[in-house]
Structure 1
Amino acid sequence: MAAEEEAAARELVAAVLRELSAPEGHPRPQNRSLSRAEVEGELCEALLRLLGGRGGPSWLVASLTRAAVDQVLQSDLTAFVERKGDDVEESQEDSKTEDLLNSDALFKHCLTCLQDVCNQWQKQLPSPPASGTPLYVFAHAIRNTRRKMEDRHVTILDFNQLFGFTDGIQRSYFAVFDGHGGVDAANYAASHVHSVVAHHEALVLDPARALKEAFQRTDVMFLKKAKRERLRSGTTGVCALLEGERLHVAWLGDSQALLVQQGAPVTLMEPHKPEREDERERIEVLGGCVTYMGCWRVNGTLAVSRAIGDIDQKPYVSGEGDVTTHILSGTEDFLVLACDGFYDAVTSSEVPGLVLGHLQETGGNGQHVAERLVSAAKEAGSSDNITVLVVFLRDPAKVLEDFLAHGSVEAEPLFDFGGGGAEALSDHAG
């Protein structure tokens, strides 16, 4: 470990110990009661909020989280049982009641475990992972003109450290969830989908299947919670798992992912909307209908045909996602994950120009590129919540350099904005 990184790691551990000595002010799990299946996802989410943004190495944040949560999971959780949950299904298989755990008491125990880990690591830090391909990630989200902010996004650069994988394959995970009818479903998906992926039996051999099926498994988990707590919300979602040289993208609903390769947009997916012929047919076969009320809606209510949650609209609104896999060649520039508040206002063909225009204006600095894209959607008339997450697969400065080189060597720009070369790009990005 380099001296500078070791110093940052030791300072992070010391800062966490200082904070844990304070009696109040720690983040808590988002739900008061947890089923056993929800414990890992909720505790990881709460610890990542506690530890994140402190300037220490991200791999250490993930490793600390993993070590503390593992200690909790190895404990006797019966001490935290609060009550038996209500029956969540009428079938014989699911009619058993399940234990519900008190999340406050459980998280307090988790903080004690975290303190134990930090005390141990003050004496001997773990070794950092082998360095992999660097990723440059920027995200921005706004409530816009809506009354509530119901979007959530997730960035996990150190997926292996968070879930204990040691097979040497670099993995990172990114997601955007666009809630409706409340934020509960989006919060839930943002806490649990990646945990379900990590524990899926097919992750190592068939990660695309694991990512796809994680949506449906999370939907089943949330529907139990929704019935127990009388929740009616739902969420669309788009998730990307970078696994070695493969990019897996799974989605349900109308949140989308777009890949840009050598300055050109690569369509990865088609969103699930009720007006799609296959979606309309599926809904009608089940006995539902698709009607036009300002836009096409399932049973006259929802403008998306697949989502996690929406207990009142199951099975017409499906919790089953789709997935695609793209083999990376090293020529890919960046990936953009965003909700429909962005993609309904900005077309896929506009995205490369907006990003490259920003890079030109900033000399290859991608730091505020997500803000630029959010502003573009708002300026184009979007009134919805807007969340944009940009993952550069190469150094943004190199992306800009290659664009400028292409324009000068080939004597023609990657984009035609009514002029030529970099000057036209700058004018367009304004």
Structure 2
Amino acid sequence: MALAAEAARGVLGSLLRDFPSPLGPEDPLPWSAQGSAALSRAEAPGELAELARSFLGGRNAPPPLTASLIHAAIDDMLQTDLSVFKKQSVEEEREGDHGKFTLLDGGSLQRCFFNKLRDICCEWQKQLPSLKSLKRFLLISSHAIRNVRRKMEDRHVSLPEFNQLFGLSDDVDRAYFAVFDGHGGVDAANYAATHLHINVALHKEILKNPTEALKGSFQQTDEMFLFKAERERLRSGTTGVSALIVGNRLHIAWVGDSQVMLVKQGKVVTLMEPHKPEREDERMRIEALGGCVTYMDCWRVNGTLAVSRAIGDLYQKPYISGNADGNSFELTGSEDYLLLACDGFFDAIRPCDVVDLVLDHLKQNKRDGLKAAERLVAAARENGSSDNITVLVVFLRDPPDILADSLGDSKSLSADEGSKDSPFNFFSSEMNNQSDSHTTTKS
């Protein structure tokens, strides 16, 4: 704990040495300008958080410190009157109703936000608050490649510091993960990776019904991006899958054909069914709206997209729906790992082959799972995938134990016999004594 505090003070001191005084109106921003010059009020928290995360990460700030600083700065920012940053108003007609949307000037908003971030660094350098540490250790392996495509349109998010970023102070651990597979440009995938988890945390059901919060946030993010797409004439869309671990439950939601799977005691547990045009219920929904599903090298909606649900795709609404499906599962402590990936992976690798690939990687790499995602991405490419490929593996058990169990090593630690000192032993003994089967809730 003392070392963590010392590291935090070192980062704070370094930042204040580089920025000894607040930014003036004409001073350049400490980060390269990103995103839109104009932001809606709903977009401000996500855009500012992403800028700060990249900035602090580039200064090697520890993730818990980064998350806590961002939370404090944004919370302070939202207490101010944002109307002073008003850029313009636009009127838009939606379903017969006229709504007035206030847009904020992105540059002046960012400058004010950085000064608030700097002020908090000054306060914390004098008296560092107690930073909430992660109770649950999760080994996370992620890898993404453009492959032979001209552009990289995938994005992924790994946020084990979910509680710290959003100031959730209860005793329930939370960790968020997501993969987004863009098409027609990267704007929609970037947008979803920036805003979806913000919308999840701010959703009214986040504490009582996290699955509903995930599903509702997909719809909200879709609506927010459509407003941006209309004013900036964007045509892109993105599929997406997200997972939120809350205590001993796993909550997931998805649109399109990005997928999440679970491996438990060496066996694949199917968690979801991707949204594809050839699904009978999806085809019927599309045709009822006046659209069509046709086969043109694969099944497509109105002869264009090979997915039936996505965030964005302004000119394909309502046939391409932004409404997510969701599931909830009980975690018993016997789960090996979660895997989230785009269709560039799942079109080339069967879920049942994932288990052997991960075990083979652990055997060849001294039971180290840190680069397991690289092995999986390489396998998809070797199997002929030409698409962007993104894989995110979240180990829920210690990789050496996973490998030992697969080899039938009686000396290995089972999920309910593990040492209490193991960082992976984050499930209570009461939980580990429960039934080995998953309790599933579909909503």
| Residue among 346, 362, 367 paired with 1:364 | 367
Matches within 5 A, 1:77-116: 77-85=82-90, 87-93=91-97, 95-116=98-119
Offset at residue 309 of structure 1 (A): 0.5
Match of 2:271 in 1: 268
The 3-state SS of whatever aligns with 1:97 is strand
**Paired amino acid for 1:16:** L
Offset at residue 130 of structure 1 (A): 5.0
Match of 1:59 in 2: 64
Offset at residue 404 of structure 1 (A): 2.6
Matched residues in 2 for 1:140 and 1:292: separation? 32
Unmatched runs of 5 consecutive residues or more in structure 2: 21-26, 413-443
1:5 paired to 2:1 = no
**Paired amino acid for 1:203:** I
Deviations 1:272-298 (A, max 9, x none): 000011110110111100001110000
8 Å Cα contact 1:359/1:365 also seen in 2: yes
Matches within 5 A, 1:76-225: 76-85=81-90, 87-93=91-97, 95-129=98-132, 131-225=134-228
Offset at residue 53 of structure 1 (A): 5.3
| Residue among 230, 234, 237 paired with 1:231 | 234
Match of 1:302 in 2: 305
8 Å Cα contact 1:261/1:331 also seen in 2: yes
Give percent identity, aligned residues only: 56
Unmatched runs of 5 consecutive residues or more in structure 1: 410-430
8 Å Cα contact 2:37/2:106 also seen in 1: yes
Instruction: Tell me how many residue pairs correspond in the alignment.
Output: 406
Cα pair distance change 1:394/1:15, threshold 3 Å = farther
1:42 paired to 2:75 = no
Matched residues in 2 for 1:126 and 1:247: separation? 31
Matched residues in 2 for 1:99 and 1:24: separation? 23
8 Å Cα contact 1:58/1:157 also seen in 2: no
Match of 1:328 in 2: 331
8 Å Cα contact 2:64/2:133 also seen in 1: no
Deviations 1:318-344 (A, max 9, x none): 000111111101011111101000000
Offset at residue 25 of structure 1 (A): 4.7
Matched residues in 2 for 1:116 and 1:327: separation? 42
1:351 paired to 2:350 = no
TM-score normalized by structure 2? 0.88
Segment of structure 1 superposing worse, 347-356 or 124-133: 124-133
8 Å Cα contact 1:235/1:307 also seen in 2: yes
**Paired amino acid for 1:75:** T
Matched residues in 2 for 1:227 and 1:309: separation? 10
The 3-state SS of whatever aligns with 1:272 is coil
Matched residues in 1 for 2:94 and 2:326: separation? 31
Matched residues in 2 for 1:368 and 1:356: separation? 12
Match of 1:419 in 2: none
Cα pair distance change 1:27/1:396, threshold 3 Å = farther
Matched residues in 1 for 2:183 and 2:99: separation? 30
Offset at residue 408 of structure 1 (A): 9.4
The 3-state SS of whatever aligns with 2:294 is strand
Offset at residue 177 of structure 1 (A): 0.5
8 Å Cα contact 2:134/2:161 also seen in 1: no
Matches within 5 A, 1:407-426: none
Matched residues in 2 for 1:37 and 1:237: separation? 20
Segment of structure 1 superposing worse, 7-16 or 153-162: 7-16
**Paired amino acid for 1:62:** A
Match of 2:77 in 1: 72
